[in-house]
Amino acid sequence: APKVYNGDVPPVPPAAAPGCFQTGVISTVDSPELNYFDQVVAEVESKYCIDKGKIFVAGTSSGGWFANYLGCARGNVSRGIAADSGGIPVARPACTGGAAAMEFPGDSAEKKDSMGNEIGVAVARDLFIKTNGCSMTSTQMKFGNATCDYYGGCSSPVAYCNTGGSHQAGQAYLNPSGWPFWSMLQ
């Protein structure tokens, strides 16, 4: 019988996959990280009684790229993502929709790949707004310690939190701001 996760010790460590991912500036549609993510979710589900509506992904730098990639490709599995200093590659699977997104642009708001394609956080924000059917008009909201542009009018909102322009500027905001954002989701 599956164990019940009681909130004391997370079933998946926060640093479960150290290192860089193949879902960054240079990416592939069939990145092996999708299979890895699917296997991790299946393993956790087989061992623990989890609420499938509360699967969240967060990351900074290459982890931010990975969070955005998963929010797009596995938006039907992840309820929400929070990404710092990431972006969204052109080479990615079709977005499935559904994942709420919290974006901290850091130094990656406007970024281009070697072919000149826009791949920065602003592109990720706009992709999630469109995919989730949110309003293009934002409202300022505070989540934890971050003031964000909030795009609502949809069941999976998007928050764009410009906390500074340096690389990983949003890292200190992921936990204190991400959880209040995710907690408001239905």
Terminal alpha carbon distance of the chain: 28
| pLDDT number for residue 8 | 47
| pLDDT number for residue 10 | 47
| pLDDT number for residue 18 | 47
**What's the predicted TM-score (pTM) here?**
0.87
Evaluate if residue 120 carries a pLDDT over 50: yes
Tens-place pLDDT, residues 95-109: 987 899 999 999 999
Instruction: State phi, psi for 102 to the nearest 5 degrees.
Output: -115, 120
| pLDDT number for residue 3 | 53
| pLDDT number for residue 101 | 98
Evaluate if residue 5 carries a pLDDT over 50: no
Tens-place pLDDT, residues 27-78: 777 778 888 899 999 999 999 999 999 999 999 998 999 999 999 999 999 9
For every residue of 81-129, DSSP letters joined together read EEEES----SS-PPP----EEEEE-TT-SS-B-TT--B-SHHHHHHHHH
pLDDT band at 9 (very low <50, low <70, confident <90, very high): very low
Evaluate if residue 81 carries a pLDDT over 50: yes
Count CB atoms within 10 A of the CB of residue 19.
7
113 or 141, higher pLDDT: 141
For every residue of the chain, DSSP letters joined together read -PEEP-SSS-SS-TTSS-S--SBSSSB-TT-HHHHHHHHHHHHHHHHEE--GGG-EEEEETHHHHHHHHHHHHTTTT-SEEEEES----SS-PPP----EEEEE-TT-SS-B-TT--B-SHHHHHHHHHHHHT--SS-EEEEETTEEEEEE-SSSS-EEE----SSTTTTHHHHHHHHHHHHHT--
25 by Cβ neighbours in 10 Å (0-12 / 13-18 / 19+) ranks as: middle
